[in-house]
Amino acid sequence: MFDPKQITDPKTLTPQKSLPAETSFEVRTIPSKFLSIRPSLGSSGAKGGLKKNILLGLVIVLLVGGAMAVAAWLFLKSVKKENPLPAAPVVNQPSGPSNLGGEAPIPPTPTTTDPVLPEEELRDINTWQTYEDIAYNYSFRYPSIWTAAVAGQDSSAKYNKQVLLSGDNIDAGRAEINIYNYNEEDLENILGWLSSNFGLSEVDLEAYKLNNKDAYRYDDIAGNTYSIFSLYEGNIYQLHFYKSDKNIINEVYNQFIINWEFSAPPEDETGDEIDYEPAVDSDTDGLTNIEEALYGTNPENPDTDGDTYQDGNELSNLYNPLIAGSAKIYDSDLVKTYVNNDARYNLVYPSSWEAKESSGTVIFQSNTGEFVQISIEPNSDDYQDIKAWYKNYLELDSEGVTNIKVSGVESAILSTDRLKVYFMLGDNIYSIIYNINLRKDGNFMSTFNMVLKSFKIMRTE
């Protein structure tokens, strides 16, 4: 702090020297042109370090920029919308976003769906079709959506007949009926036949019943199929099924087996009523007494209508033996006309007889157990001559056959017993057979001739 007492005493003041009033001196400065010059780095080593730093900086910039470019490309690729597959169906999407994030919904992946099976039709037995094979004495029922077809038979086939059954796709089920000949002279029972033909023993088989007949079931080792084998009337029947993972198809198989029926052969249908006595023709007009009763002619008069033609001769040539003149038998109620639109043929047969159809075969049954059978089978071995087929396929001597004409076919043949006619037409072989069963002679020879004469192939336009 300033103290005034310190300056009250003049003795304490130190006198100060005074500077001259005017003193001159020189001031020097750096010229302005040198002020703009920056200091030099001096040595060449300092210059090289600068260049390296610059290059390193450029490299780092390039690497960072390249990495950013790659990252941007990957990002764009990951969010880019894929084009739909050409075969994929167009799916209508909702107008707004389907989730809380507001992102567009992802289209569903197309999937392959199994065909939908009509379960009601498969389960409803009342809608099922019936297949009847009179020649081999069996029948069965099968779903309406299945088809049944008789397979062709080649020389290597062991079976006598094969029926193929299938739906419109593999999921709808598949089965086969195979019929084999059984020779009881060579084999004691069905087990011996299965061992001889399939190498199966009783250990491989399960005891079974098919239409109350003894049978065996065999499941193949792979688990893909199973078969039911049964012996009936000299034939082995194999019901072969392809297993399915669908319960409805397995139900169909079970119903198929339940509805299988063996039928009595024609000769057994009338039992003790079958007449084994020789056929009698009292008036020797070509009609047996049984035929006279069938057509209403007089068994004591060979010319019932009095037109000078014998009754049997008139019937065999399709004339009415009850009406004189040119009245045709098919214009009367004595016969019926049978038309097979599938096989494209027609014929006439006695009105009181029963027509029984099965695939490829028709039987016209009398009340005596005798019948006329029409069969058509494919010419699988491509025979060019009916006699060659008769000799090689039926293993019969063709020397004694007679050439006849049937429905315009000149090359038909009549067997030596005059009960069987065979001819070829197109890709098929036709058989017209009169089966007299255990009789030594037939009651309906003139009727058989009438059927042959009336048989006509319907030409396709």
DSSP 164-228: EEE-SSGGG-EEEEEEEE--TTT-SSHHHHHHHHH---GGG-EEEEETTEEEEEEE-TTSSEEEE
Q: What is the pLDDT of residues 84-141, one digit of tens each?
A: 444 434 434 334 333 334 444 444 444 445 566 677 778 888 889 889 888 888 999 9
Domain membership of residue 327 (yes or no) is no
Rounded to whole angstroms, how far apart are CA atoms 60 and 51? 14
Domain membership of residue 71 (yes or no) is no
Check residue 103 and give its pLDDT: 44
Domain membership of residue 312 (yes or no) is no
Long-range contacts of 392-395 (CB under 8 A, 24+ apart): none
Which of the listed residues 262, 292, 312 is the one where a domain comes to its end?
A: 262
Check residue 102 and give its pLDDT: 43
Q: Which has more confidence, 397 or 260?
A: 260
Give yes or no: residues 130 and 246 share one domain: yes
Q: What's 422's domain CATH number?
A: 3.40.1000.10
Of 156, 228, 220, 135, nearest to 433 (Cα)? 135
- Arithmetic mean of pLDDT, 150-176: 77
Q: What is the pLDDT of residues 168-213, one digit of tens each?
A: 777 788 999 999 888 765 566 888 889 988 899 989 999 999 998 8
Q: Return the exposure string of 182-195: e unless at least 16 CB atoms fall within 10 Å of the residue's CB, then b.
A: beeeebeebbebbe
Check residue 82 and give its pLDDT: 45
Domain membership of residue 422 (yes or no) is yes
Check residue 29 and give its pLDDT: 57
The tokens 């037109």 sit on which residue?
Answer: 307
Rounded to whole angstroms, how far apart are CA atoms 432 and 100? 81
The tokens 């079970």 sit on which residue?
Answer: 254
Check residue 354 and give its pLDDT: 93
DSSP state of 18: P
Domain membership of residue 104 (yes or no) is no
Give yes or no: residues 216 and 351 share one domain: no
Check residue 394 and give its pLDDT: 83
Q: How confident is the model at residue 294 (pLDDT cuts 50, 70, 90)?
A: very high
Check residue 87 and give its pLDDT: 40
Give yes or no: residues 341 and 453 share one domain: yes
Q: 115 φ, ψ to 5°?
A: -60, 145
Give yes or no: residues 258 and 122 share one domain: yes
Domain range spanning residue 203? 118-262
Residue 38 has pLDDT above 60, yes or no: no
Name the pTM for this structure. 0.47
Question: Which tokens sit at 218?
Answer: 């065999």
Give yes or no: residues 130 and 243 share one domain: yes
Give yes or no: residues 229 and 344 share one domain: no
Of 424, 402, 430, nearest to 414 (Cα)? 402
Domain membership of residue 187 (yes or no) is yes
Check residue 219 and give its pLDDT: 94
Domain membership of residue 48 (yes or no) is no
Check residue 26 and give its pLDDT: 57
Domain membership of residue 40 (yes or no) is no
Give yes or no: residues 252 and 371 share one domain: no
Check residue 114 and give its pLDDT: 56
Give yes or no: residues 236 and 370 share one domain: no
Check residue 449 and give its pLDDT: 95
Characterize the bridge pairing of strands 409-414 and 428-435. unpaired
Count of the separate structural domains present in the chain: 2
Check residue 268 and give its pLDDT: 43
Give yes or no: residues 369 and 449 share one domain: yes
Q: What is the pLDDT of residues 55-99, one digit of tens each?
A: 777 778 788 777 787 777 776 655 544 444 444 344 343 343 333
Give yes or no: residues 143 and 246 share one domain: yes
Of 438, 449, 417, nearest to 275 (Cα)? 438
